[in-house]
C-alpha cells in the first residue's frame, strides 16, 4: 500500500481552486540521515512552528534557470543544539542567501514547519523552494513520509499561489546509499509522490538525490521514475581531487550523467523488441547533448542533470590530496561556481553544528555563505 494513499483519497473528495570520467566511488557523502525532533528555540508566537499566512504574490518560477554561477543553497532550520530556529532567524538567513545572488533554497525535510516558515521567508526574498522529503531508516512506507507530503499539500492548499514558489521536489536524499530503500521501492515512492502533488496542481519536476556512483549503478530503475537526474557530487571525498580541480571534477561527473537516462531508455526499448545498437545509442546521446546545450529539449524523457550537493569543508582532516580549509574552500567553491554553478545546489548555508563530526571531522564544517558574500 502506498504511503500517500490516504492523501489521494482526501484529494479525490476535495475540490481545490488552483491558479565521462570513470565511476569513482566516494568514501561517503554528506547524507542528512538524522532529522532532529521539532523542539523550538523560543516560545514566542513568531517562532518557526507558528501558523504563517502568505498574502503577497509569489515571484515568477525560475524553471531551473538560475543566474550565472549560483542556482541554489542547502538550508537546515536547526540551531547548533538541534532545536528549530525562530522565524526571525530563518528570515534573516534566507535574506542572506538571496542577497548572495542565489535563486533557490533547498530543504531536506518538512520538520520545524519549514515549508511554511522558509516558504514565507523565501517569498519575501524572491527565492524559489526545492522541497525535500526525508526517507529515514524506517523506509519508504514510514508514516513520517505521509506527514511530510501532507505538509506540502497543506502549504499549497493554504493559497494556490504558493505553487509558483516550488521549483523542485526531491523524494529522499541518499536513501539507497544509506540502505533505507531499495531501488524499486524508492522509484515507486517518487511516482507515488508525483501523483499526489499533480492532484494539487504542481506540474514541476519530481526526483530523488543519490551520490554519483549510486545513481549510475541504479539508473535502470531510477531513470524511468525521475524527471531530472539529481546527484550529490562532493569532490572532497575523492582523495585524488585537490581543491583547485573541484570544478572540473564535478563538471566531468555531470557530463557523464548527461544522457544517461536516454541510454537507459534505449536499452529498455531493445528489451521490448526494438532494434537499437550501441552505435545508435551513442549517436542519440550525442544528439541529446547538442540539443540540450541549445535549450531545444522539451520532452520529459530528455532529462537534465542537476548537482544537488556541491561543496568543500572549511576544516577537518585531509583526505589524501583533498585538504579542508578556509582558503581551500574558497578555491573549490570558485571553481565549481564557474564550471557548473548554474546547475548546482551548494552546501551549506552555515556549519551544521548539530551533526556528528563524521569522517575526517568535516560533517560540521560545510557552511559557505560567507564565500559568496
Which residue out of 210, 309, 328, 363 is catalytically annotated? 309
Is-catalytic flag, 174? yes
Is-catalytic flag, 309? yes
Which residue out of 174, 262, 328, 363 is catalytically annotated? 174
Closest Cα to residue 53, out of 147, 131, 119?
A: 119
> CA 77, CA 362: separation in Å to the nearest integer?
19
- Active centre residues (catalytic): 174, 309
Amino acid at each position: 500500500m502506498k504511503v500517500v494513499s490516504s492523501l489521494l483519497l482526501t484529494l479525490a473528495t476535495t475540490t481545490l481552486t488552483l491558479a565521462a570520467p570513470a565511476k569513482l566511488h566516494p568514501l561517503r557523502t554528506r547524507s542528512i540521515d538524522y532529522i532532529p525532533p521539532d523542539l523550538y528555540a523560543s516560545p514566542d508566537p513568531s517562532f518557526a512552528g507558528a501558523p504563517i499566512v502568505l498574502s503577497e504574490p509569489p515571484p515568477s518560477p525560475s524553471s531551473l534557470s538560475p543566474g550565472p554561477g549560483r542556482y541554489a543553497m542547502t538550508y537546515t532550520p536547526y540551531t547548533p543544539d538541534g532545536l528549530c530556529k525562530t522565524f526571525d532567524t530563518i528570515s534573516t538567513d534566507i535574506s542572506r542567501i538571496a542577497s548572495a545572488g542565489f535563486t533557490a533554497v533547498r530543504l531536506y525535510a518538512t520538520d520545524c514547519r519549514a515549508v511554511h516558515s522558509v516558504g514565507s521567508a523565501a517569498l519575501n526574498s524572491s527565492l524559489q523552494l526545492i522541497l525535500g522529503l526525508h526517507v529515514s531508516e524506517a523506509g519508504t512506507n514510514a508514516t513520517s513520509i505521509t506527514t511530510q507530503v501532507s505538509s506540502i499539500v497543506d502549504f499549497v492548499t493554504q493559497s494556490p499561489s504558493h505553487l509558483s514558489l516550488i521549483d523542485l521536489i526531491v523524494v529522499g536524499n541518499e536513501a539507497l546509499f544509506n540502505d533505507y530503500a531499495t531501488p524499486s521501492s524508492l522509484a515507486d515512492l517518487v511516482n507515488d509522490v508525483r501523483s499526489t502533488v499533480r492532484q494539487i496542481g504542481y506540474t514541476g519536476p519530481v526526483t530523488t538525490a543519490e551520490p554519483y556512483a549510486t545513481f549510475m549503478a541504479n539508473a535502470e530503475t531510477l531513470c524511468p521514475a525521475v524527471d531530472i537526474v539529481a546527484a550529490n557530487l562532493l569532490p572532497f571525498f575523492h582523495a585524488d581531487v585537490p581543491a583547485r580541480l573541484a570544478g572540473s571534477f564535478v563538471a566531468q561527473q555531470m557530463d557523464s550523467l548527461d544522457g544517461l537516462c536516454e541510454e537507459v531508455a534505449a536499452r529498455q526499448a531493445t528489451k521490448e523488441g526494438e532494434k537499437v545498437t550501441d552505435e545508435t545509442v551513442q549517436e542519440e546521446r550525442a544528439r541529446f547533448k547538442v540539443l540540450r546545450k541549445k535549450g531545444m529539449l522539451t520532452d520529459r524523457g530528455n532529462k537534465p542533470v542537476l548537482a544537488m550537493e556541491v561543496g568543500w569543508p572549511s576544516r577537518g582532516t585531509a583526505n589524501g590530496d583533498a585538504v579542508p580549509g578556509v582558503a581551500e574552500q574558497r578555491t573549490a567553491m570558485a571553481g565549481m561556481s564557474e564550471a557548473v554553478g548554474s546547475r548546482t545546489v551548494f552546501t551549506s548555508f552555515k556549519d551544521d553544528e548539530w551533526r556528528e563530526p563524521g569522517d575526517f571531522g568535516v560533517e560540521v564544517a560545510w557552511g559557505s555563505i560567507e564565500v559568496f558574500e
